[in-house]
Amino acid sequence: MSVRGDANGKRRRRVMPAERREMISEMVRKSGSVTVAALEETFGISPMTARRDLAILEDEGRVKRIHGGAVLPGFARREDSFQRRLEEEREAKERLARAALGMLGSGETLFVDSSTTAYYAARLILREGLDATILTNSLPVMSLFTTDEAPKVSLIGVGGTLRKLTLSFVGPRATEDVEAHFADRAFVSVKGVTPDGYLTDPDPLEAEVKRAMILHSEEPILLVDGGKFSQRGLNRIAHISEVSTVLAADAPEQRLKEIAAGGTRVRRV
């Protein structure tokens, strides 16, 4: 079979269009998304060819095209990337982070999940230089320790399989790492809270890690903004009665009253 060189002079095996589309479909299945630029570099094809391949795969129901690339079908509706979620409800997340920080004492050990809301809390802990140990499966939280000088804050990273969409480590290894520790508190957030009080996440492996953090912390704390009460994920994490405190920003008053009536402490921020 013929070959040709790429921009770096390396020889790349030429693949037939059908084979290439199978490979693209597998790339999306494994990572959750792919960009046109990545396809150009990987296969040495033009942007037009890459978009044509994605259009065919979309017609076959194997991907959903988005600007600049494609994602798995349903991902655009069900779960957004960490980077995109990081900019949503920024002011509410900052208030939640400040309230979470106010609950901590010196020398505590904390689980921090892979949510962007918990990321805000972890970032504030490092900026304030609180004496604490953070255990997390969030790659962005781990990355904070490479740039922030906070000698009193220690990090224990949870291993496992990296989900590129959420920049988090999941799977049996991640769950086992969490279950091997006990924390004073856990900071967790969710995709949504159902009307009957179940915490949910789009991904089953993420749900398992969050569930383990709740079960292995003395005081699990749920950080939620009002939007969490109007959506839900596919997978159950736990019932809201299993968390000790709900920190809520701009949440429906009636829902908060129902939660408090069930025995869970509620704090509005």
What's the angle, vertex CA 29, arms to CA 58 and CA 201, rounded to 5? 105
* Per-residue pLDDT tens digits for 95-125: 999 999 999 999 999 999 999 999 999 999 9
> Residue 188: its pLDDT value, please?
98
Binning pLDDT at 50, 70 and 90, where does residue 257 land?
very high
Q: What is the pLDDT of residue 29?
A: 76
Distance CA 201, CA 65 (A): 23
Q: Are 208 and 175 contacting, i.e. CB atoms less than 8 angstroms apart?
A: yes
pLDDT tens digits along 169-208: 999 999 999 999 999 999 999 999 998 999 999 899 999 9
Query: pLDDT class for 13, splitting at 50, 70, 90?
Result: low
Quickly state the pLDDT bin for 79 (edges 50, 70, 90).
low
Task: Give me the amino acid identity at 262.
Answer: G
- Mean pLDDT, the chain, rounded, equals 89
Condensed to tens digits (0 to 9), the pLDDT of residues 30-57 reads 766 788 988 999 999 999 999 999 999 9
Greater pLDDT, 24 or 76: 24
Q: Which of 54, 45, 51 is nearest to 14 (CA)?
A: 45
All domains in the chain, ordered by first residue:
3-78 (1.10.10.10), 83-268 (3.40.50.1360)
